[in-house]
Amino acid sequence: MSDAALRARKVEALTEEEAQAELAALAAEIAHHDALYHRHDAPEISDADYDALVRRNRAIEARFPELIREDSPSRRVGAETAEGFAKARHAVPMLSLDNAFDEDDFRDFCARIRRFLGLPAEETLAFVGEPKIDGLSVNLTYENGAFVRGATRGDGTEGEDVTRNLLTLAELPRRLPGPFPARIEIRGEVFCEKADFLAFRAAQVQAAEEREARRARGEKVGPAITIPVNPRNFAAGSLRQLDPAVSAQRPLKLFAYAMGDASEPVADTHAAWLDRLRGWGFRVNPVSELLAEEEAAVGFQRRMAEARAALSYDIDGVVYKLNRLDWQRRLGFVGRAPRWAIAWKFPAEQATTRLLDIEIQVGRTGALTPRAVMEPVGVGGVMVTHASLHNEDEIARKDVRIGDTVILQRAGDVIPQILGIVPEKRPEGAQPFAFPTTCPACGSHAVRPEGEVVRRCTGGLTCPAQTVERLIHFARRNAMDIEGLGIENVQTLFDAGLVKSPADIFRLKDHVATMRGWEGWGERKIGKLLEAIEARRRVPLERFVFALGIRRIGEANAKLLARHYHSYAEWREKMLAATVIGSEAREELGSIQGIGPAIATELAEFFVEPHNRAALDDLAREVTPEDAEVAAADSPFAGKTIVFTGTLQTMTRDEAEAQAERLGAKVTKSVSKKTDFVVVGAEAGSKATKAAELGVRTLTEAEWREMSGLA
Ligand code: IVH
């Protein structure tokens, strides 16, 4: 079944195998949108569509926790670092927030907190409500009271060092008045006010028009002028200027709101922490409020929605943070978001405009995706010109025709979604949209197998659109990690005919003379690129496998394959053998924990294609994949499978499971031969008996606490 056909199924109706396939597809899709949003500041779907993907992923994971992938979007944040800035590691990861969209979501969030902490229903939960500004989060490190470094969030673990740019912000305290801990990380949001954004945007639009007029007169013009699409985009672009002098001219503001690493505790509650921040000279959002109980949040949310338009900056919701920091610590994180905070978003804003055209884009796997081109219209203070139309059926279902007046919804970002059309405004003679049956990039047939929603180009690697997308994937940071080989450079090298397959990248050194002749390709750039390429002649097998861009082989599956087959030679041989249905190799592949028959088929389909094998062998002559290593254990539970059963006395089951995961264990629900430990609480039932039968080691709660360092 295709990804899109799967997506239409209810989560409750999915089989384990389907769920696994869909989680893999979602991981890839969300990673793609994350990169567009964070790395290129150029999202192509609306926040609402993005949130829908994330929610679907979460719902499937909630039903099949054992299928949660290592590269799951719920474990990952944001994007990789941009080129040009030094990298900066955060002492404590910078995470993201889960969303609530209505009162029910918020109450569920409170119920989860109570359940996790084992609190009775009558225990009140105090929160601090803070407006959620859609800016750019930064991590500010202070040592002995002095500002020493500032970084963007990046992928959550490592961001870009933007210290020099941050120093251009008047609102950033250079020194903290004492007392302060020896070392502390302070987190906040860099943003730009609506009026400043609009003024800057208007100036840019005018400059772009003047430039265009000069160009039309045949005069010489400077580089293209970028027009920011929303305040977030503008703030991000401004802070990430390589030249701090440019940042200095941009009207950036900063609100501080969170703590990262601290060498000693500084407060007991979030409210007290905000007071400390104010005392140190940070600007803390004055609209923030301490809410004595969860009920108060409902009123605060309503008041903020009313106050929203009058604020000088854009907000898209309210962040609610549990006030007690001891509870925050116990709750910890699940995946990429804290259990103790939530972003309650406002409903999306709408507008109508005319649909001018429907463009078709071709992705890495050949999927043809339609995109609406519209007359520019402001929705929630942002100009929009494009919207995703998802797929052929969606266009037919909504009966969207070129010339129609469409209703747009923007849920906080640049690319909105089309909710529907206004039938009375349809121009006479408007025709139903005829979805192309050939690929707009290469002219090959585009086919849509029965039961699938997505039409795909059959051109494979002969299709330039697919080739370029695959090459970009190959070089990206979590794949081969070739610095300097981003979207633009890959496109240039491809257009010039120098790189058509991954192996060609490693033969670029023979084309230095050609590259030297290109504008902007100086000696230094070429040298750095070739150096980055040479540095990747040896890579871990798992990266190599992931970089191939085989459908459904994300990072986690690539790792499973590498661990299982150990060496490249073995993997290649077994994959070829596995192309035969019913063969021993195919059985083996399909039975690897976490792979399964559907993914085995995907791999077989890749290996059955002679041109894929040729491209792979060509690459393997240039690159040496290194044998996979067995993970080193640094806690008694690292890499072990653990099951909890019965009632624990000192913590809830959820808390215990989260703790085990922090220590590197895999938590499962049922006991099997593969289980390493069963922690037996009070009134344990069949699982304890089963453990005894299978000879699996059992631990008492006290032993478990002791071994995990809690006792
Ligand atoms: S707290 C673990 N507080 O929202 C705590 N974030 O979706 C994470 N944001 O990356 C952050 N206003 O860029 C927090 N008052 C606020 C915020 C806020 C805006 C942004 C921030 C974060 C994103 C998470």
Please tell me the predicted confidence (pLDDT) of residue 380.
Answer: 64
For residue 135, which atom of ligand 1 is closest to its CA? 13
Please tell me the predicted confidence (pLDDT) of residue 81.
Answer: 46
Domain-terminating residue out of 481, 501, 536: 536
* Same domain (yes/no): 410, 547: no
Strands 697-700 and 677-680: parallel
**Residue 306 in domain:** yes
Looking up residue 476, the CATH number of its domain turns out to be 1.10.150.20
* Same domain (yes/no): 518, 559: no
Give 672's DSSP letter: -
For residue 153, which atom of ligand 1 is closest to its CA? 10
Please tell me the predicted confidence (pLDDT) of residue 71.
Answer: 75
Q: Most confidently modeled of 30-44, 277-291, 550-564, 645-659? A: 277-291
Query: 624: how many CB neighbours lie within 10 A of its CB?
Result: 12
Residue 625 forms beta bridges with which residues? 539
Report the run of H or E that residue 544 belongs to, with start and end. Answer: helix 541-547
* Same domain (yes/no): 159, 268: yes
Is 378's pLDDT higher than 70?
A: yes
Query: 710: how many CB neighbours lie within 10 A of its CB?
Result: 13
Please tell me the predicted confidence (pLDDT) of residue 707.
Answer: 86
Number of domains in the chain: 6
Is 634's pLDDT higher than 80?
A: no
**Residue 635 in domain:** no
For residue 96, which atom of ligand 1 is closest to its CA? 24
Please tell me the predicted confidence (pLDDT) of residue 631.
Answer: 43
Cβ atoms of 160 and 150 within 8 Å: the answer is: no
- The mean pLDDT value for 39-43 works out to 63
Cα of 704 vs centre of ligand 1, distance in Å, is: 35
For residue 337, which atom of ligand 1 is closest to its CA? 2
**Residue 92 in domain:** no
Looking up residue 336, the CATH number of its domain turns out to be 3.30.470.30
More confident residue, 662 or 569: 569
Please tell me the predicted confidence (pLDDT) of residue 670.
Answer: 83
SS3 content of the chain, % helix, strand, coil (to 5): 40, 20, 40
Please tell me the predicted confidence (pLDDT) of residue 157.
Answer: 85
**Residue 88 in domain:** no
Supply the mean pLDDT for the chain.
86
* Same domain (yes/no): 660, 688: yes
Cα of 131 vs centre of ligand 1, distance in Å, is: 9
Residue 112: exposure state from Cβ atoms within 10 A (0-12, 13-18, ≥19) = middle
**Residue 454 in domain:** no
Q: What span, in angstroms and rounded, lies between the C-alpha atoms of 73 and 675? A: 26
Q: What span, in angstroms and rounded, lies between the C-alpha atoms of 340 and 318? A: 14
For a ligand 1 pocket test, name from 34, 97, 153 the mutation site with the most ligand atoms within 8 angstroms of its C-beta: 97
From atom 17 of ligand 1, which residue's Cα is the shortest distance away? 132
For residue 258, which atom of ligand 1 is closest to its CA? 1
Cα of 333 vs centre of ligand 1, distance in Å, is: 14
Using one digit for the tens of pLDDT, what is the confidence trace for 479-495? 999 999 988 899 899 98
Domain-terminating residue out of 570, 597, 626: 626
- The mean pLDDT value for 461-482 works out to 88
Q: What sections of 609-708 are H helices per DSSP?
A: 610-622, 653-662, 686-694, 701-707
* Same domain (yes/no): 491, 552: no
Amino acid letter for position 637: F
What is the four-CA torsion angle of 326, 332, 337, 341, rounded to 10 degrees? -20
Full DSSP string of 567-612: SHHHHHHHHHHTTSTT-HHHHHHHTSTTTHHHHHHHHHHHHH-HHH
Cα of 137 vs centre of ligand 1, distance in Å, is: 7
Cα of 342 vs centre of ligand 1, distance in Å, is: 9
Closest by CA position to 538, among listed 627, 629, 477: 627
User: Residue 603 belongs to what domain range?
Assistant: 541-626
Residue 317 forms beta bridges with which residues? 132, 345
Is 458's pLDDT higher than 60?
A: yes
Give the contacts of 413 (CB within 8 A, at least 6 positions apart). 43, 46, 47, 50, 134, 230, 232, 382
pTM exceeds 0.75 for this model = no
Report the run of H or E that residue 418 belongs to, with start and end. Answer: strand 417-421
More confident residue, 290 or 314: 290
For a ligand 1 pocket test, name from 137, 274, 287, 340 the mutation site with the most ligand atoms within 8 angstroms of its C-beta: 137
* Same domain (yes/no): 155, 282: yes
* Same domain (yes/no): 187, 294: yes
Cα of 66 vs centre of ligand 1, distance in Å, is: 29
CA angle, 347 then 353 then 359, to 5°: 100
**Residue 209 in domain:** no
* Same domain (yes/no): 495, 356: no
Report the run of H or E that residue 360 belongs to, with start and end. Answer: strand 349-362
Query: 633: how many CB neighbours lie within 10 A of its CB?
Result: 11
Phi, psi of 295 (to 5 degrees): -55, -35
From atom 23 of ligand 1, which residue's Cα is the shortest distance away? 96
Q: What span, in angstroms and rounded, lies between the C-alpha atoms of 33 and 135? A: 18
Ligand 1 pocket residues where CB is under 6 Å = 95-97, 130, 132-133, 137, 153, 189, 257-258, 319, 338, 341, 343
* Same domain (yes/no): 63, 166: no
Looking up residue 686, the CATH number of its domain turns out to be 3.40.50.10190
Residue 520, by phi and psi: left (phi above 0), alpha (psi -120 to 50) or beta? left
For helices 487-495 and 464-475, the axis angle rounded to 10 degrees is 130
Length of the chain: 711
* Same domain (yes/no): 501, 392: no
Full DSSP string of 109-167: HHHHHHHHHT--TTS---EEEEEEE-SEEEEEEEETTEEEEEEE-TTSSEEEB-HHHHT
Looking up residue 404, the CATH number of its domain turns out to be 2.40.50.140
- The mean pLDDT value for 363-369 works out to 83
Domain-terminating residue out of 318, 345, 372: 345
Q: Which two tokens stand for residue 74?
A: 């719920």
Q: Which residue has the tokens 């086919």?
A: 447
Using one digit for the tens of pLDDT, what is the confidence trace for 196-236? 888 887 888 788 778 777 776 777 777 777 777 778 888 98
* Same domain (yes/no): 465, 597: no
Among residues 10, 87, 132, 220, which one is catalytic? 132
Using one digit for the tens of pLDDT, what is the confidence trace for 395-412? 999 999 999 999 988 754
CA angle, 414 then 416 then 422, to 5°: 140
* Same domain (yes/no): 419, 508: no
For a ligand 1 pocket test, name from 51, 54, 76, 96 the mutation site with the most ligand atoms within 8 angstroms of its C-beta: 96
**Residue 181 in domain:** yes
132 in catalytic set: yes
**Residue 213 in domain:** no
